[in-house]
């Protein structure tokens, strides 16, 4: 047809061809403009249903006048072949764009917002597109997005042209109701748009298999791999939105495309949601080691953590915990993005340079809203002056934020943990090992704390830390009674030297917990919270205690409170995922598991060989039925360390969730043999094992080890 004229349109070139039409570039000889001329294929021109559907597209699109929808100029017929004259747009389809290059998060949001605006215009006219896919989305050279091809659109009031059980659309983008041939409305477009949004981020479809039957099954029965597996940097708002849009039950999707637009606008990177962010909230980035020797890394970590600890003693401040800061350690970061992620208004960054016994510390307090420095200073002195420097930094920050210190807070900040810098050196090394977790690191932490106490036998914080390490050895890695006895002794000595030591009081509560003296454990934990209402571990353990004694509602409350205290810690979300599964709230369980995946993935960027985190990530993926992802992570875990009792228990939970009964039982036995003596009780109360409780081998193992 190239070179011929149809009506007053001179055909210049062929642009493309699809199941419902052939499209040509043509010149409108009357108005002297380029158009896209779409013809019904010859083989369908005589089919009444196809002809009606083709004209339906013209009616649907011509009812719309919106910059994100292609404009229909005219409709006609030539030699018994209907045609539509449409706006000619130079650009490429979204499908072609995705094949050529990945989109940035900002580009995804920009495209998605325009698609949403176009759909909003269509839905406002009572038009459901029913075939939203990258092939039908055009991106112009200036970045404008146009929705095309309303060929199977349904108009409000029209009879559906499908027969019972007949489906129209492109399979991988179809909603469950579309797949089943049920009546569809605007929420079907929201599903298809969710698939497109997922594909823009992941560069693969959420439901994709070689056979159509397998794709149908996935659409109806399976949850897609969480988007953060492909794009861990995707904002939480965007991840949550995709999850909502891909709800299999249309009632649980966003009620309208307007809701989608609102959430997309709220997903802007760098846009801090002021609502809910405490005014005097601060994150302390790990200080950078500017020294020539790498061994000073632990010193930088220790200084950072001590400043966090000091600031946390100030009731008027909200300080991000050490564990929540770990994912940002040793990374090039953007201050605004850190503040957005951690929901704070201020960020402290600094550096440490050590040369011999001299040390230089620089620090600057930055407002995340405008990037301006509120305060900056440099401290030069001897290493033995480090406590005075840390104290001065804490005071400068409180002054910059106009915080008034109470006498008790002043006294607490002025108190030195020890007078011997050598003991403090070992103490900081021990804390560094303990923070890395795992059996080998915990054993190394024990040695460091012992060295510290060998130098300063009045070092209360070192006694409490040694008690904590011994309790972890007893709970997760060894199970020998000697560890628990030593934990008791260390915490008692800590209290002898510092009667107000909250950490020692918490350590005593843990001893009660392990001795199953639950009433005393609860009373002591509540005392810890009286002394420090923001004590995360006390709140978390109260949840564990409540769950163990059957008070599931109190357990949920405590876990949620812990999550509020440290929203970027995976522990409370892990317990919530298991608890919700136990109570039958599978949606809430999946939401919690999604948070675990998000948090652990981010933390693993800072420590790729953290076997505890990896094993938790495997368990979280298993809750979504992600067999391939789970088994890949489990293989990596076992390559790194196959002798850690806690890690092996987490592996058992992941296997159980996948229904791999023999593997789960094997992991449980290995966990017990590696020192995790509470395997039997944990497995009986952990909802991850609910699917294998009737398996004979599991029953025998529990009876044997219980």
Residue 261 CA from chain centroid, whole number? 21
Q: Do domains 5-87 and 281-414 have the same CATH topology?
A: no
DSSP per position, 392-460: HHHHHHHHHTTPPPPHHHHHHHH--S-S-HHHHHHHHHHHHHHHH-SHHHHHHHHHHHHHHHHH-TT-H
pLDDT at 156: 45
Dist CA 98 CA 82 (whole Å): 32
| pLDDT digits 0-9 by tens, 595-645 | 887 777 766 765 667 788 888 888 888 877 778 888 888 998 888 877 888
**pLDDT surpassing 90 at residue 545:** yes
Lowest mean pLDDT among 108-117, 125-134, 163-172: 163-172
Dist CA 608 CA 186 (whole Å): 43
| pLDDT digits 0-9 by tens, 5-24 | 888 899 999 887 765 678 88
pLDDT at 18: 66
> Model's pTM, two decimal places?
0.57
The whole-number average pLDDT for the span 304-315 is 86
pLDDT at 696: 93
The whole-number average pLDDT for the span 474-481 is 82
Q: Which residue has the tokens 């099954």?
A: 217
Quickly state the pLDDT bin for 272 (edges 50, 70, 90).
Answer: very low
- CATH number, domain 281-414: 3.40.50.10610
pLDDT at 285: 92
pLDDT at 608: 67
SS percent in the chain: helix, strand, coil, step 5: 55, 15, 30
**pLDDT surpassing 60 at residue 151:** no
Active site residues: 131
DSSP per position, 130-194: S--SGGGEEEETTS-EEE---TT-EETTSPP-SPTT---S-GGG--HHHHTT----HHHHHHHHH
Burial class, 91, CB count within 10 angstroms (exposed 0-12 / middle 13-18 / buried 19+): middle
As assigned by CATH, the class of the 5-87 domain is alpha beta
**pLDDT surpassing 50 at residue 367:** yes
Q: What is the DSSP-derived secondary structure letter of residue 295?
A: G
Dist CA 448 CA 453 (whole Å): 9
The whole-number average pLDDT for the span 354-369 is 87
Cα 432-435-441 angle, rounded to 5 deg: 75
Contact 572, 562 (CB under 8 A): yes
- Which spans in 246-384 are helix H? 257-265, 297-312, 322-325, 335-342
Burial class, 356, CB count within 10 angstroms (exposed 0-12 / middle 13-18 / buried 19+): exposed
The whole-number average pLDDT for the span 181-206 is 93
CATH number among 1.20.1260.10, 3.30.70.100, 1.25.40.10, 3.30.1360.200, domain 586-706: 1.25.40.10
Tell me the C-alpha to C-alpha distance, in Å, between residue 499 and each of 194, 469, 491, 597, 673: 57, 20, 11, 40, 38
pLDDT at 562: 93
Domain boundaries, the chain: 5-87, 91-265, 281-414, 586-706
Dist CA 541 CA 565 (whole Å): 14
Task: Give the tokens for residue 323.
Answer: 């564990």
Most confident of 13-17, 150-154, 263-267, 600-604: 13-17
Q: How far apart are the first and last CA of the chain?
A: 82
pLDDT at 124: 85
Quickly state the pLDDT bin for 449 (edges 50, 70, 90).
Answer: very high
pLDDT at 67: 86
Q: What is the DSSP-derived secondary structure letter of residue 69?
A: B
Long-range pairs of 107-111 with CB within 8 A, sequence gap ≥ 24:
108/197, 108/200, 108/201, 108/238, 109/238, 109/264, 109/267, 109/268, 110/143, 111/137, 111/139, 111/145, 111/200
Quickly state the pLDDT bin for 269 (edges 50, 70, 90).
Answer: very low
Most confident of 168-172, 311-315, 457-461: 457-461
**pLDDT surpassing 50 at residue 518:** yes
| pLDDT digits 0-9 by tens, 54-103 | 676 666 667 777 888 888 888 888 777 788 888 888 889 999 999 988 88
- CATH number, domain 91-265: 1.10.510.10
Q: Are strands 33-39 and 9-18 parallel, antiparallel or unpaired?
A: unpaired
pLDDT at 152: 54
Mean residue pLDDT across the chain: 85
Contact 556, 579 (CB under 8 A): yes
Closest CA to 674 of 699, 703, 651, 648: 648
């Amino acid at each position: 047809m190239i070179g011929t004229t149809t009506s007053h349109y001179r055909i210049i070139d062929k642009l493309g061809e699809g199941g419902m039409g052939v499209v040509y570039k043509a010149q409108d000889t009357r108005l002297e403009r380029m158009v896209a001329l779409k013809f019904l294929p010859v083989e369908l021109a005589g089919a009444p249903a196809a002809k009606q559907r083709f004209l339906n597209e013209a009616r649907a699109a011509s009812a719309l006048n919106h910059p994100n929808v292609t404009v229909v100029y005219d409709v006609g017929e030539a030699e018994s072949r209907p045609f539509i004259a449409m706006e000619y747009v130079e650009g490429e389809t979204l499908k072609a764009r995705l094949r050529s290059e990945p989109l940035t998060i900002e580009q995804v949001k920009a495209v998605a917002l325009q698609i949403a605006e176009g759909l909003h215009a269509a839905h406002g006219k009572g038009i459901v597109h029913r075939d939203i896919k990258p092939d039908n989305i055009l991106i112009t050279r200036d970045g404008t997005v146009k929705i095309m091809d309303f060929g199977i659109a349904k108009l409000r009031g029209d009879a559906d042209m499908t027969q019972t059980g007949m489906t129209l659309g492109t399979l991988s983008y179809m909603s469950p109701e579309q797949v089943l041939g049920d009546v569809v409305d605007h929420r079907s477009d929201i599903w298809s748009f969710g698939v497109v949004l997922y594909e823009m981020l992941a560069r693969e479809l959420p439901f994709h298999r070689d056979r159509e039957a397998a794709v149908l099954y996935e659409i109806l029965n399976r949850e897609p791999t969480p988007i953060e597996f492909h794009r861990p940097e995707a904002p939480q708002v965007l991840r949550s939105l995709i999850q909502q849009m891909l709800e299999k039950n249309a009632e649980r999707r966003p009620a309208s495309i307007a809701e989608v637009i609102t959430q997309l606008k709220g997903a802007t990177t760098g846009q801090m949601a002021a609502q809910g962010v405490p005014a005097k909230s601060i994150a302390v980035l790990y200080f950078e080691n500017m020294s020539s020797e790498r061994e000073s890394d632990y010193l930088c970590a220790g200084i950072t953590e001590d400043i966090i600890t000091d600031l946390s003693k100030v009731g008027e401040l909200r300080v991000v915990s050490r564990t929540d800061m770990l994912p940002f350690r040793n990374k090039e970061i953007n201050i605004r993005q850190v503040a957005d992620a951690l929901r704070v208004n201020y960020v402290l960054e600094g550096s440490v340079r050590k040369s011999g016994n001299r040390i230089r510390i620089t620090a600057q307090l930055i407002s995340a809203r405008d990037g301006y420095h509120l305060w900056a200073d440099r401290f030069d002195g001897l290493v033995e002056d480090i406590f005075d420097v840390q104290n001065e930094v804490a005071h400068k920050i409180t002054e910059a934020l106009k915080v008034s210190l109470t006498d008790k807070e002043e006294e607490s900040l002025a108190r030195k943990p020890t007078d011997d810098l050598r003991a403090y050196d070992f103490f900081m090394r021990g804390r560094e090992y303990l923070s890395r977790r795992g059996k080998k690191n915990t054993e190394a932490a024990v040695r460091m704390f012992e060295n510290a106490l060998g130098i300063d036998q009045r070092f209360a914080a070192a006694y409490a830390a040694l008690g904590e390490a011994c309790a972890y050895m007893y709970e997760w890695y060894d199970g020998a009674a000697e560890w628990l006895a030593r934990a008791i002794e260390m915490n008692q000595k800590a209290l002898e030297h510092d009667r107000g030591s909250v950490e020692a009081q918490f350590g005593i509560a843990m001893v009660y917990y392990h001795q199953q003296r639950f009433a005393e454990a609860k009373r002591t934990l509540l005392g810890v919270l009286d002394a420090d209402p923001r004590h995360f571990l006390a709140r978390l353990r109260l949840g564990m205690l409540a769950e163990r004694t059957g008070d599931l509602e109190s357990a949920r409350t405590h876990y949620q409170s812990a999550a509020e205290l440290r929203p970027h810690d995976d522990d409370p979300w892990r317990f919530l995922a298991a608890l919700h599964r136990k109570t039958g709230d599978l949606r809430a369980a999946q939401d919690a598991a999604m948070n675990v995946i998000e948090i652990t993935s981010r933390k693993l960027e800072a420590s790729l060989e953290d076997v505890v985190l990896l094993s938790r990530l495997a368990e979280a993926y298993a809750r979504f039925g992600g067999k391939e992802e789970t088994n890949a992570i489990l293989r990596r875990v076992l390559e790194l360390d196959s002798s850690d009792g806690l890690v092996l228990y987490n592996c058992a939970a992941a296997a159980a969730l996948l229904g791999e009964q023999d593997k789960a039982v094997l992991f449980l036995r290995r966990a017990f043999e590696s020192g995790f003596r509470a395997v039997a009780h944990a497995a009986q109360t952990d909802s991850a094992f609910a699917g294998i409780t009737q398996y004979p081998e599991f029953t025998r193992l529990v009876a044997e080890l219980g």
